[in-house]
Amino acid sequence: MKLNLQPKEEPEVNLTSLIDVVLLLLVFFMVSTSFVKQSQITILLPAAEATSVIEQPAEQIDIMITEQGTYLVNGRELVNSRPATIRNALQKVSNGDHTLPLTISADANARHQYVVTAMDVAGRLGFVKISIATVNDSADQ
């Protein structure tokens, strides 16, 4: 029995397709990569000579009501207790600035109507920061 022995061929690796794929990947990554060049601007900022900050206390309007119904706006007594007089006094003291805080304080024996009148006039003028001052009585504690 005669066996036909042929010489074995060496396996051949085709590198052409591998090189094509690698080059395509290289081109793809080069195109899809974004190259960002950051630019910088040189800015010379001014320096402050003095760092002291002067804080002015916030202006506030105080309305005080006595037991007899007399109104005092920032310590000055009004001529009468009519709403028009209160409105004119508030406009004069505030100079048209209705964002100022307004505090209403009344005597414990003052009628509730006096406080409501002051709140109504202030609300109609546009004051929104209205507070009512109270005093804790040390005898009740």
- The burial class, CB within 10 Å (0-12 / 13-18 / 19+), for 3 is exposed
Residues 41-84 pLDDT 10s = 676 766 767 666 555 455 888 999 988 889 999 888 888 889 99
Q: Any idea where the domains of the chain sit in the sequence?
A: 61-133
pTM above 0.85, yes or no: no
Residues 105-136 pLDDT 10s = 888 888 889 999 999 999 999 988 888 886 66
- What architecture is the 61-133 domain classified under in CATH? 2-Layer Sandwich (3.30)
Please, which residues have CB within 8 angstroms of residue 12's CB and are 6 or more apart in sequence? Answer: none
